[in-house]
Amino acid sequence: MPILPIDAGRYGTYAMKEIFDEQKRITYQLEIEAAAALSQSEIGMIPKNAAQGIYQVAKSGKVTVKRVKQLEAKSDHDTAALVEALSEKCKPTSRPWIHYGLTSNDLVDTGNSLQMRDALRIIQPKVARLALILAELAMKYKDMPAVGRTHGQHASIISFGLKFANPALEMSKHIERLEQMKKRVLICKTLGVVGTGSLMGAKALEVQKRVAKRLGLFPAEVTTQVVPRERYAEYVFFMALIGSTLEKMAVEIRNLQRTEIGEVSEPFRSGQMGSSAVPVKRNPVKSERVTSLSKLLRSQISATFENIPLWHERDLSNSANERFILPTTSILLDEMLEAMTRILKELRVNEDRIRENLEITMGQIFAEFVLEALIKKGVPRFEAYRDIQRVAFAASENRMDFRDAVKADPAISSHLGEKEIDEIFVPENHLGASDQIIKNVYGIVKRSCARFSQA
């Protein structure tokens, strides 16, 4: 019976959820048993025929979650149940060497690394795809002047393309962050009960190195019975960091979709209902979902930090919550990436409204550039500032166009001719270095995402 929305199929892709499926978790741990047996046999630690037998059964699919659960009901230990289930299917000659020199968390922690490895294989291409979509949108709208807002107020002219270029670059930086993180997070640990490799002796590190290579992981340099939980905290932190960038985009879309602004809107398919009561509403529900899930995603960070200080060589105070945190974090981010990609691929940009919004303040958005022009004429900054402020406030009270007010004010018009003033009030003249900034971002994103787009 599904309880959580993830279980009920509301959130998360099949590919991501499959990684954290119960049977898949057992499959990963059996893969570790197989890799350990083969690696030990290669250096003469266990008999080769025994290792081959363990490998074949571990890879056969004969060890099922159903049987493991049956055995766990008796032993009250899931890893011991898995090892017992594997032993049942192996020949007597192989059984003594199953799980040789290993402990439960060699399977649990290395299994977690395999799950995170495969989760990243799904997440990174989606981050790259989103970065490319954003970069293309930035290029499409790089020459379009729009209102730039600070504190929720009209501040100055911005290229509308910069609204996409900023998150595009951050998404490409996230790809770099994830790549750098792998060597610290995707750890293979096969060093036994308290991290000494005691039963395997001096060859323990060589075994671990070989297992890590087989599994596509990085061998642990030092551990207790468990991989240091700083590694899991880093994984969850970076998932939440990406989620926060997605939320930043979602919040911007939600704000720009406000009725009073109306510069963009989410895709709204035929038959969709925005409100059960108000037929005309088109609510930004997808962006709101991203915002909501981001809050939940960030909340996972706290528990991962709490899990870092364990007793001595380990205790179990981290174990139960990690069974929630690692799947939840990965599945939520995957869902958010899917949602934001759908939003941006079909985002509706209202170019007419963008132009109209430039005129809401009746020209006062150009005040910065009037100030600049006066300074260049030799007017002291604060003298020019106060004159412009005085004229602007009076124009607002009288509902007068700011350009006309500037032309009519002797303190300003004595320094600036009518043609000069008209030039100031052309939005396209004030995009600054936007064109080059956006082209630079586009190039960076294309390079950082190249290997994913080829795949």
Q: Which active-site residues does the annotation give?
A: 151, 275
How far apart are alpha carbons 219 and 190 in whole angstroms?
9
| H-type alpha helices, 20-103 | 22-42, 48-58, 65-75, 78-89
How far apart are alpha carbons 371 and 388 in whole angstroms?
7
How far apart are alpha carbons 196 and 208 in whole angstroms?
12
How far apart are alpha carbons 90 and 291 in whole angstroms?
50
| Phi, psi for residue 399 in degrees, rounded to 5 | 50, 45
How far apart are alpha carbons 292 and 152 in whole angstroms?
22
Element (H, E) at 228: none
How far apart are alpha carbons 265 and 285 in whole angstroms?
11
Q: Where are the beta strands (DSSP E) in 305-392?
A: 348-349
DSSP SS3 for 187: strand
The dihedral of CA 126, 127, 128, 133: what is its sign? positive
Is 138 in contact with 161 (CB distance < 8 Å)? yes
Q: Identify which of 218, 129, 131 has the alpha carbon closest to the alpha carbon of residue 181.
A: 218
How far apart are alpha carbons 242 and 127 in whole angstroms?
9
Tokens representing residue 332 in the block? 């939520």
Write the DSSP symbol of residue 364.
G
Is 184 in contact with 231 (CB distance < 8 Å)? yes
Is 122 in contact with 15 (CB distance < 8 Å)? yes
Task: Tally the residues of the chain.
Answer: 455
CB burial of 37-48 (b: ≥16 within 10 Å; e: otherwise) equals bbbbbeeebbbe
Q: Identify which of 101, 90, 93 has the alpha carbon closest to the alpha carbon of residue 32.
A: 101
How far apart are alpha carbons 369 and 34 in whole angstroms?
70
> What does the longest C-alpha to C-alpha distance in the chain come to?
103
Write the DSSP symbol of residue 350.
-
Tokens representing residue 316 in the block? 């179990």
